[in-house]
């Protein structure tokens, strides 16, 4: 998360340097390309580490525990089925 925040700050600095300059071409050729390169490399690194967390270490976010999820899906399915019975035109 900190890497993404740093990337946003670098992009904001890059934008400000271009905006505040009288000659944006010189800023782009001197500092802009390097700031953009560092930002892209930082985002690639953050994406790689995020992918590693999800696929190698199985880190994720679950709203409910798996046992609760099974009971909730059964209850939801039975409630939906009971609402459809005897009601014409409901799909």
Domain spans of the chain, in order of start = 2-84
Q: 22-61: per-residue pLDDT in tens?
A: 888 888 888 999 999 999 999 999 999 999 988 888 887 7
Taking CA atoms, 31 is separated from 17, 26, 28, 34, 59, in Å, by 8, 8, 6, 5, 37
d(CA 49, CA 38): 16
pLDDT at position 11? 95
What confidence category does residue 71 fall into, taking pLDDT thresholds of 50, 70 and 90? low
Quote the percentage of the chain above a pLDDT of 70.
67
Q: Mean pLDDT for the chain?
A: 80
CB 24 within 8 A of CB 38: no
């Amino acid at each position: 998360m900190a890497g993404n925040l740093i990337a946003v700050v670098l992009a904001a600095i890059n934008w400000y340097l271009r905006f505040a300059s009288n000659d944006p071409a010189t800023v782009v050729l001197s500092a802009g390309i390097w700031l953009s390169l560092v930002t892209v490399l930082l985002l690639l690194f953050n994406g790689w580490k995020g992918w590693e967390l999800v696929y190698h270490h199985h880190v994720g976010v679950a709203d409910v525990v798996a046992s609760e999820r099974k009971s909730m899906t059964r209850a939801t399915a039975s409630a939906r089925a009971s609402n459809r019975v005897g009601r014409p035109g409901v799909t």
